[in-house]
Amino acid sequence: MEPTPALADRQQFDQVLGNLFLNARDASPLAHGAPAIRIDVRDTGIGMDDATRQQIFEPFFTTKGVGKGTGLGLAVVLGAIQQDHGMIEAHSALGRGTTFSVFWPLAEAVRQRCPGLPVLFVSGYTDDIIALHGFVREGVALLEKPFSPSVLARKVRGIVDARSARGA
């Protein structure tokens, strides 16, 4: 059976949907094709229904027993991710488990948005290999793992001082 038709002007219909889509895009922190790192945390546990899923990021909401959960874990997670301009999604099926997907914007993307921001790349690869892949450019600070606290402190001091010297 054909669905019931609606009464609408085609151009206005396009305008309405187009504007709603653009609003949705602008409300998405990682929109505009910003590249991101994605981390999925998946369990095959009890899962949750939609009503529960919609409340999980609220402070003090917990399904764990009294004295077992603080209700703060996911609120803290959401706060941290939002401060990094990232995003988190939760997908769940009752009885089948839950998947949390976290999206962090790439440091490269953040640098483009905030050119003055000091960035220190940390990697387990040697800088030779990274340079080979065209990732490290002139003026990009790189810290190779493993490193000691004092080496980290020196690197951070170095890029912060360099930034102050530029008058940023």
Partner 1 sequence: MFSRRQMIRPVAVQVNALIEDSLCHYRRLIGEGIRLEFAA
Residues near partner 1 (CB under 8 A) are 2-3, 5-14, 17-18, 21-22, 24-25, 28, 30-34
Asked whether 52 and 111 are in contact (CB, 8 A), the reply is no
Yes or no: say if 27 and 82 are a contact pair by the CB < 8 Å rule. no
Contact 36, 30 (CB under 8 A): yes
Closer CB to partner 1, residue 24 or residue 132? 24
- How far is C-alpha 155 from the geometric centre of its chain's CA atoms? 25
CB closer to partner 1 out of 17 and 37: 17
| Closer of 30 and 142 to partner 1 (Cβ) | 30
Q: How far apart are CA 60 and CA 80, in angstroms?
A: 16
- Least CB distance to partner 1 at residue 100 (A): 18
Q: How far is the CB of 3 from partner 1 (least distance, A)?
A: 6
**Can you tell me the distance from the alpha carbon of 103 to that of 109, in angstroms, rounded to the nearest whole number?**
13
CB of 109 to partner 1, least distance (A): 11
Bridge-based pairing of strands 120-123 and 97-105 is unpaired
DSSP 8-class letter at 65? P
Q: How far is the CB of 65 from partner 1 (least distance, A)?
A: 37
The answer to whether 160 and 141 are in contact (CB under 8 A) is no
Cβ closest to partner 1, residue 27 vs residue 51: 27
C-beta closer to partner 1: residue 92 or 105 = 105
> How near is the Cβ of 33 to partner 1 at its closest, in Å?
3
